[in-house]
Amino acid sequence: MSWKFFDIFQNIEQFLSHIKLLLLIMSVNEANISELELLRQCIKELEAENAEIPDLMEENNRRDAKIEDTNDRVVKLEQLQNDNTPNDNTPNNNSSNFNSGAIYHEKPLDEKKMDNFLLEAHKKIVGADIRRRNKEKKLQAQESLPTHPKEKISQDLTQPCNSTSSEEKICSELDSKCKKGKGVNKLKQELFAPELPS
């Protein structure tokens, strides 16, 4: 009976080793599957790039045809220019420099955009500076007007400011301190009227 048990034990060991081998084979197959998927994806990308090649070749052929047409036109223009020049028996050394004076280097689009942006920013700064100076002139003119002792305006109220809420605050304080409402309203209109953009 001990031999049978030993045989069964050996069969179980063999069975377990077979299972381990099968598990190992399955893990290798799973790794191969992921590699296959990667390769399939690479193949799809390459096929997409290859599909673009005929379009690129056609575009290159059109460009070559345009260049050839342009070269033909240049030759014809040079011939016409030579035919139209008077025969004064002087050598013409300018024929090789036919287009040399017409060279124009255009700025790239990024430089044009940057130039436009800087120009607009400069215009805004200059405009704001002009508006600030005009407000300061108006405030100086207001300060030079004779006022009654009751109507004296504090120094902080005469400083120019940028926010509309502070402008409204100044106007309300001016209204409360002054008895003459018409003069203050006229001053408010002059000081805080919306300025037209240039």
pLDDT of 155 over the 50 cut: no
Q: What's the token pair of residue 105?
A: 């280097």
Calculate what percentage of the chain has a pLDDT beyond 70: 56
- Share the mean pLDDT of the chain: 73
* DSSP states of 123-152: HHHHHHHHHHHHHHHHHHHHHHS---GGG-
pLDDT band at 74 (very low <50, low <70, confident <90, very high): very high
**Bigger pLDDT: 49 or 177?**
49
The secondary structure element, H or E, covering residue 77 is helix 2-84
Residue 100: its pLDDT value, please? 55
Q: 3-state class of 180 per DSSP?
A: coil
Residue 43: its pLDDT value, please? 81
Q: What is the pLDDT of residues 83-139, one digit of tens each?
A: 887 655 555 555 555 555 556 667 788 888 888 999 999 999 999 999 999 999 999
**Bigger pLDDT: 198 or 76?**
76
Per-domain residue ranges of the chain: 1-84, 119-146+155-192
Q: What is the pLDDT of residues 2-15, one digit of tens each?
A: 556 556 656 777 77
Q: How far apart are CA 48 and CA 54, in angstroms?
A: 11
Residue 179: its pLDDT value, please? 47
